[in-house]
């Protein structure tokens, strides 16, 4: 029957939140986007400039909305942390990387309109509750080579600080992380039907770019839910089953030479684990290896203390209270997620929110969403607990943070 592959997938099963992530990632935009048209009109008419001036001193009261706003004066320091991955990258839709030209226009916009600060300064001002104009911090995940070849010259041009979170194994081997390899595998696999054994039989049709893309997203979504050891085994089986062109896996990530060059120019670095696992799926020994081992390896190679951490993928279900306790115990100062929102002194320093920036974020959309985020009050509830209900937590965050994310990726 023609419906058999779908039936097999349903028996194997994606969790509802995983299926939602796949569907949202593959949603095609309408040919004419009314929201984008309105945002561009507000931006180029100058109306956003007035709202930007308001957000420097005022914020929406909790329970208020942009449709029926009630404002209050900002009472505490407030920061938005931007999250980039690669710049000008292609091949992995998880990255949703902005072009070099768009990235430069965004950095110029920040330089002209906001107070851009380092992550260390964010920590200092949140801890001291120092009053001041809201600030913006810039971060990059994974350590793609384009953060050196394309982003770094622009950051230097505008004298902007930034933090890059490194996946240590990728730096040491020069090869991209496992989810990049899944996308590459689906891109190079022969057309027709692909059968895989991933905790049960899975069948995919690979007869079009869209089918290949959906297969990659579904595999990554499913592997994110597995215990880490099983996830690694599944990745090994996929690579053996398909075979990957090794030349497509190299020259994509930073090496120590580029890292040292950027550090000497003022760029800071943090840990993104050793191998980019889903932290909430790790055993105690794996967790210590990934968090403590990555910190130790970075400090040995950088010759300085490493105090900042980024959760891989970074949604609420990808983090854990156990990881937060270990991060604090082994000397980290902060940990960032990919949950959208602002950060205030009430924020847990190991659950900091970030606003992701993707390829679909025009300068007008970038300006609008950044301003909209700064107008929000902080999120008072924790992302993790000792008895988490991840589905409920993700839904609460989606409702409270709806419209705040510049991209739906979270690698």
In a domain, 39, yes or no: no
* Mean pLDDT across the chain: 86
Q: Which of 135, 136, 150 is nearest to 97 (CA)?
A: 150
In a domain, 336, yes or no: yes
User: How many distinct structural domains can be found in the chain?
Assistant: 1
Question: Which pLDDT belongs to residue 90?
Answer: 61
Question: Which pLDDT belongs to residue 26?
Answer: 77
Confidence of residue 402 (pLDDT cuts 50, 70, 90): very low
In a domain, 116, yes or no: yes
In a domain, 77, yes or no: no
Q: In b/e form, how buried is each residue of 187-205, taking b as 16+ CB within 10 angstroms?
A: bebeeeebebebeeebbbb
Mean per-residue pLDDT, 28-35: 72
Share of the chain above pLDDT 70, in %: 86
Q: Which of 393, 168, 385, 373 is nearest to 259 (CA)?
A: 168
Q: Which of 281, 365, 296 is nearest to 98 (CA)?
A: 365
In a domain, 346, yes or no: yes
In a domain, 31, yes or no: no
The CATH number of whichever domain residue 295 belongs to comes to: 3.20.20.370
Which tokens hold the place of 293?
Answer: 């081992």
Which tokens hold the place of 311?
Answer: 């959760």
* 404, pLDDT greater than 80: no
In a domain, 157, yes or no: yes
* 409, pLDDT greater than 50: yes
Mean per-residue pLDDT, 256-279: 97
Question: Which pLDDT belongs to residue 62?
Answer: 78
Burial class (CB in 10 A: 0-12, 13-18, 19+), 232: middle
**Gyration radius (Cα) of the chain, Å:** 21
* pLDDT tens digits along 279-298: 999 999 999 999 999 999 99
Q: Which of 131-135, 155-159, 247-251, 399-403 has the lowest mean pLDDT?
A: 399-403
* pLDDT tens digits along 71-96: 888 888 999 999 999 898 765 666 66
Question: Which pLDDT belongs to residue 29?
Answer: 67
Q: Which of 169-178, 220-229, 334-343, 389-398 has the lowest mean pLDDT?
A: 389-398
Q: Domain residues for 343?
A: 1-15+83-411
In a domain, 50, yes or no: no
């Amino acid at each position: 029957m023609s419906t058999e592959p779908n039936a097999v997938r349903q028996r194997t099963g994606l969790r509802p939140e995983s299926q939602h992530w796949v569907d949202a990632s593959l949603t095609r935009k309408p040919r004419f986007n009314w929201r984008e048209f309105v945002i561009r009109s507000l931006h180029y008419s100058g109306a956003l400039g007035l709202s930007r001036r308001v957000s420097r001193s005022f914020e929406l009261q909790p329970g208020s909305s942009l449709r029926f706003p009630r404002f209050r004066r900002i009472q505490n320091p407030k920061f938005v942390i931007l999250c980039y991955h690669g710049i000008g990258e292609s091949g992995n839709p998880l990255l949703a990387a902005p072009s070099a030209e768009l990235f430069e226009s965004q950095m110029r916009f920040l330089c002209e309109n906001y107070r851009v600060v380092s992550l260390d300064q964010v920590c200092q001002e949140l801890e001291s509750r120092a009053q001041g104009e809201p600030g913006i911090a810039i971060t990059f995940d994974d350590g793609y080579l384009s953060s050196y070849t394309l982003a770094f010259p622009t950051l230097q041009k505008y004298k902007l600080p930034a933090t890059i979170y490194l996946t240590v194994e990728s730096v040491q081997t020069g090869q991209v992380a496992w989810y990049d390899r899944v996308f590459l595998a689906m891109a190079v696999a022969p057309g027709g039907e692909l059968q895989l054994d991933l905790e049960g039989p899975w069948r995919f049709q690979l007869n079009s770019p869209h089918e290949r893309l959906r297969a990659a997203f579904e595999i990554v979504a499913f592997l994110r839910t597995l215990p880490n050891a099983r996830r690694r085994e599944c990745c090994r089986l996929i690579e053996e089953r398909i075979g990957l062109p090794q030349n497509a896996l190299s020259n994509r990530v930073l090496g120590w030479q580029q890292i040292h060059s950027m550090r000497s120019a003022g760029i800071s670095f943090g840990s993104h684990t050793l191998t980019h696992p889903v932290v909430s799926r790790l055993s105690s020994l794996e967790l210590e290896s990934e968090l403590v081992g990555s910190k130790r390896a970075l400090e040995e190679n950088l010759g300085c203390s490493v105090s900042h951490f980024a959760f891989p993928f970074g949604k609420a279900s990808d983090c854990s209270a156990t990881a937060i306790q270990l991060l604090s115990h082994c000397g980290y100062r902060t940990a960032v997620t990919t949950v959208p929102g602002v950060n205030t002194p009430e924020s847990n320093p190991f659950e900091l929110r970030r606003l992701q920036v993707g390829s679909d974020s025009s300068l007008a959309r970038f300006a609008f969403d950044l301003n909209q985020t700064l107008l929000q009050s902080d999120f008072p509830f924790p992302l993790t607990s000792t008895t988490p209900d991840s589905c409920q937590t993700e839904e609460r965050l989606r409702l409270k943070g709806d419209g705040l994310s510049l991209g739906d990726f979270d690698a």
